[in-house]
Structure 1
Amino acid sequence: MSTFRHADALWADFPQLVPGVLHVESFDGTYDLTKYLEIAEQRLDGTTETQLPEIQAWRRAYTQLGLKPTQYRCASEALLRRFRKDKVLPRIHPVIDLCNAVSLAYAIPVAVLDLAHIAGDLEVRYATGREEYLTFGGEVEHPQPGEVVFADEAGQAHARRWTNRQSGRSAVREGTQTVLIVAEALHETAAEDVSSLVSALGQELGQPRSAILSRTGPEFAY
């Protein structure tokens, strides 16, 4: 059995963090995204994603990490920005599409990882600089020391700059059977909103095992 967790150092620097996790072992690919897209449209009506408290919290976190928020956007901000301009959600894979739609509705970044390509335990932590990150184009990058990554026991980074960009190594694709879904938020009502998000995904995905993590209960076994 493996575990997912956030490192103690990350909890110390971001005590307001609320992560939600789901372990999904089966999915049928028949998801209606309409209600989530409608919520996103309503939330963006007359405003932009940068004004949403969920996005502002991630922008503050990126500034705290020494990153320019306008250069490196969290995944939910990038999705909302694209959705506001194009009015459509790009279709990639049924589970990815569902998680992207829910991410849009809640303005909270949601990562979906193919567990078949993750070696052992997975930890969100500060990088040493020795980790290997595989881009979607097949190139290998080394995260900067101190950058927040999702790292497994083999030293593979499955996300860079925390919630900015996932790896091509553990990307969900045709044939994926088991996934780990991670939602993370930092805003004032994060505890309530992440719980609601996890519940919504659970209802869509057949009530898989899930948990809301905390500094005192930081691990999820899968």
Structure 2
Amino acid sequence: MTQSRPTMTVNPLTISNSETVAKRFPGVHVLGVKLSFETLTNVSWEAEIEQLHQRWIGKSRSDVLNSVKQQPYAEFMTALGLKVKKNPPSVANLITRCLTNEAPRLPRINPIVDAVNVAALQTEVSLGVFDAACVEGELQLSFSRAGESFLGLGAEKAEELADGLMVLRDQKKILSIFSVRDSQAQAISEKTKTVWLLACQVPGVSRDDTVTGLMRAVHNLEMIRDKHD
């Protein structure tokens, strides 16, 4: 495996919450850092995935949702009116798809996405990574308005959102349904050079744990930076 360099020192920013979000959910925050890359190298995450697989093999979806670190996200999704079996928290969904079957399987998407997905599995903190060039203006955590358009990653067509879903947006569009699904609009590609790396904190998840998840992702991203850049 590629040897890591010392993880860069970063100071996470707290993304602003709308007035309504701040009033209704004072324990909810998104922490973020902006990182740049020149060239990337592929890293095999097989050893990390195999170690994680030993913990989750044979577990049911309910086992995952009710686990110590995933239960706060599941309870928060329920408090927002979401059905967690239909729209599970992102990390619980990743664990269920990748680690509970007989053979572990981490879909290889892009070196950046893969590194962040592994960090999410390692720390069980809900993480996201956006192509910063596709983000217009400031980020904010707010609620959706009925009829707003959202094209989720992997979706064939956009959907109209219901009123009152917690979303992360920029000045022009919705970027993600909070801790559930990201938009196609800011998807990482082979042309991505700068990213927003984000971590979601909900009631029951401490800021320290959220920062740990973010820093693990930074560490993993350092591992894929080409040693000769």
Q: Same fold (TM over 0.5)?
A: yes
Selected match of 2:162 from 144, 148, 166: 144
The alignment status of 1:15 with 2:26, answered yes or no, reads: yes
Find the aligned partners of 2:94 and 2:41 in 1 and give their Cα distance. Answer: 21
Q: Which moved more, 1:97-106 or 1:124-133?
A: 124-133
Match of 1:65 in 2: 80
Q: Deviations over 1:78-114 (max 9, x none)?
A: 1000111251110000010011111111122211111
Q: CA deviation at 1:53?
A: 2.0
The alignment status of 1:170 with 2:182, answered yes or no, reads: no
Match of 2:171 in 1: 153
Q: CA deviation at 1:43?
A: 3.7
* CA radius of gyration, larger in: 2
Find the aligned partners of 2:50 and 2:203 in 1 and give their Cα distance. Answer: 22
Match of 1:41 in 2: 53
Q: CA deviation at 1:45?
A: 5.6
Relative to total residues, which structure has the larger strand share, 1 or 2? 1
Note if contact 2:127-2:214 (Cα within 8 Å) is conserved in structure 1. Answer: no
Give the secondary-structure state (helix, strand or coil) at the position aligned to 2:213.
helix
Give the secondary-structure state (helix, strand or coil) at the position aligned to 1:40.
helix
1:68 partner letter: K
Find the aligned partners of 1:16 and 1:36 in 2 and give their Cα distance. Answer: 31
What is the RMSD of the two structures over their aligned residues, measured on CA atoms? 2.4
Identity %: 22
Unpaired segments ≥5 residues, structure 2: 1-13, 224-229
Match of 2:66 in 1: 51
Q: CA deviation at 1:120?
A: 1.0
Q: Which moved more, 1:191-200 or 1:87-96?
A: 191-200
Give the secondary-structure state (helix, strand or coil) at the position aligned to 2:86.
coil
1:17 partner letter: V
Q: Larger relative contact order (C-alpha < 8 A, sep ≥ 6)?
A: 1
Q: CA deviation at 1:205?
A: 3.0
Residues 16/129 of structure 1: CA separation in 2 closer, same or farther (3 Å cut): same
Give the secondary-structure state (helix, strand or coil) at the position aligned to 1:54.
coil
The alignment status of 1:205 with 2:217, answered yes or no, reads: no
Q: Deviations over 1:148-206 (max 9, x none)?
A: 1111111x11112x111111111111111111111113354522322222222223334
Aligned length: 203
Match of 1:76 in 2: 91
TM-score (norm 1): 0.80
Find the aligned partners of 2:29 and 2:181 in 1 and give their Cα distance. Answer: 19
The alignment status of 1:25 with 2:36, answered yes or no, reads: yes
Note if contact 2:113-2:188 (Cα within 8 Å) is conserved in structure 1. Answer: yes
Give the secondary-structure state (helix, strand or coil) at the position aligned to 1:158.
strand
Find the aligned partners of 2:109 and 2:26 in 1 and give their Cα distance. Answer: 34
Note if contact 2:123-2:212 (Cα within 8 Å) is conserved in structure 1. Answer: no
Structure 1 runs (4+) deviating above 6 angstroms are none
Find the aligned partners of 1:5 and 1:35 in 2 and give their Cα distance. Answer: 37
